[in-house]
Amino acid sequence: MKQPYLITSVLLVLSLGACSPEGKEAAKENKEAAVNNAEVAVGNSLNRTNHYANIARENIYKTSYQIQKWVATPPELPKGPREIEQSYCYRSFHDVLCYRSPMPGAENRLVAYQGTGAEAPPQAVTQLLPTHPYDSSQLPQNRVANARPVFIGLPPTVKDDKTPAPTPELPPEAIPAPQPNPVLVPQL
């Protein structure tokens, strides 16, 4: 803040030493004008700094107030009845599970349904199994009568062989050595 005064005073002292009496008076007037101008400039800079600090502080207060209003105020609820998303709830082993659309084939497990515009699912109806057309040629007695033989003749009879099968002789190194009992082997 004191720097403008210092600079102007140094310049004036240097200029006063080499001037005439009229020049010295003009230098004094210039010095006074320079000091006044410096004071005004310092005051303006302080005022501007304070002004901008005040604006920033106001903006912070306004923003924090608005945030507090948003957080503390619950949102407005729409007037009138709300639309409810449709759901169809079915009984499972241990719970009730809800889906957005009806499940075909699970009508007998339906517990409840709700929603704006939700259509009632079809009622569970006991239906008979589909019947196949009756074909008399497929009866067991007709199938045997119409069957064609698969074999040309009887297979040959198997002869019983009473001789025992030969056991292969193993060399002594191919026979495995007896292993020690794991219970009696010391543990490492």
CA distance 91 to 94: 8
pTM above 0.85, yes or no: no
Number of domains in the chain: 2
Domain hosting residue 41, numbered range: 3-72
Domain co-membership, 45 together with 87:
no
CA distance 102 to 110: 9
- Mapped to the 3 state alphabet, what secondary structure does 121-175 carry? CCCCCCCCCCCCCCCHHHCHHHHHHCCCCCCCCCCCCCCCCCCCCCCCCCCHHHC
Domain co-membership, 14 together with 36:
yes
Specify the pLDDT at position 91: 92
Encode the chain (188 residues) as per-residue pLDDT tens digits.
Answer: 455 555 555 555 555 555 567 767 777 777 777 777 777 777 777 677 777 888 888 888 888 888 888 888 777 877 887 788 889 999 998 899 999 888 888 888 888 888 888 888 877 777 777 777 777 777 878 877 777 877 778 888 888 777 777 777 878 787 777 887 877 777 76
Domain co-membership, 94 together with 58:
no
